[in-house]
Structure 1
Amino acid sequence: MSDQHQSSLPGFLGVIDRTISRIESVLLALGVLLMAANTIANVIGRFVLGDSIFFSEELNRILVILITFAGISYAARHGRHIRMSAIYDGLSPRYRKILMVLISLVTAGFLFLLCYYSFNYIEKQAARGRVLPALQIPVWTILVWVPIGFFMTGTQYLLSAIKNMTSPDIYLSTQVQDGYEEDEIEV
């Protein structure tokens, strides 16, 4: 198993963490590669053959949604979301740990709520029966990545809270320990 898919969580939680990591990796890699291939093929078609691929724009829209919502989970896993840390950095380690658990739990709660709302939105879109003009696939099918991404990201934050509750150290995510790199510290 590669280091990329290792988990520092024990047992079943580690299995969940590794599974989400694999899903993120596959979705992001496939999404980016397919978008690049589609865009290159469309450019070649337009400028060499004189005709664009009729569904290229719709396919890229689908891939942008996929990459965006798989990417938020990936960013959470690697502790890469934007943080406002002025107050947090001024706290003692004990209070930083408490705040990190609270932040992780509240964020997970909001993400699960967004997952619920996005699922309801997809149900409404499915009831409307709209289809994409070129690909002729139902619009709701391209939106399935939204609740999946919110759920995976919410799970990442929940696992981060558990990691912080069970570890003596402070973690931004299940894989990233709190602290600054030497090059991030301005003297």
Structure 2
Amino acid sequence: MKKILKFLNDYLEETICIILMSVMTIIIFIQVIMRYVMHNSLSWSEELARYCFIWLIYIGVAYGCKLMKHIKIDAALKLFPEKVRPYITIVGELLVLAFAAYIVVTGVELTYKQWLFGKVSPALGVPLQYINAAPVVGFGLVVIRQIQAIWYLAGKLPEKNGGEK
């Protein structure tokens, strides 16, 4: 069980992104072959590629947070004194955590509404709640990764007696 959890912690987002990018690339390649070689288009390929791309974006956001490479303004951090910077960084991570939690809550509401209305995609007939669940899953992973990042950064804070850990 520990090996599975370690794999999920280390490679979950990477694996999903690789799979989604591969599927998307193969689908688009097949569509190009069908269109220009066979002179016939697939009606569902662009829609499936679009949905893979949507999921890829949201899982990629979680991957960026895992690597602690999400958008931030380092120049603004340099405006603060050296001793305060670690705390400002944690405040920034807390803001990202709050935003991600908000997106999860509103995404769950949207996904639930799509489920209630029973809407489906035009070409594939896929229930739209599966597509609209992408922000919920992606930002749910962001919440987990932000908690991990905050925990990591809090562990690196200077001790109260002025010494470094």
State percent identity of aligned pairs. 21
Q: 2:60 aligns with which of 55, 63, 71?
A: 71
Structure 1 unmatched runs, 5+: 1-11, 170-187
Q: 2:22 aligns with which of 16, 22, 33?
A: 33
Contact 2:86 2:157 in 1 (8 A): no
Q: 2:39 — aligned with what? A: 50
Give the TM-score of the pair, scaled to structure 1. Answer: 0.77
Which deviates further from its counterpart, 154-163 or 38-47?
Answer: 154-163
Compute the RMSD of aligned alpha carbons.
2.0
Give the TM-score of the pair, scaled to structure 2. Answer: 0.86
Letter in 2 for 1:26: T
> Does structure 1 residue 83 correspond to structure 2 residue 72?
yes
What are the superposed Cα offsets for residues 104-129 of structure 1, whole Å, 9 maximum, x if unpaired? 11211220111011011000111111
Q: 2:8 — aligned with what? A: 19
What are the superposed Cα offsets for residues 149-176 of structure 1, whole Å, 9 maximum, x if unpaired? 011112212211111111248xxxxxxx
Distance in 1 between residues matched to 2:34 and 2:76, nearest whole Å: 54
Q: 1:174 — aligned with what? A: none
- Residue 43 of structure 1, CA deviation: 0.3
Question: Runs ≥4 in structure 1, deviation > 4 angstroms?
Answer: 15-18
Aligned length: 156
Q: 1:124 — aligned with what? A: 113
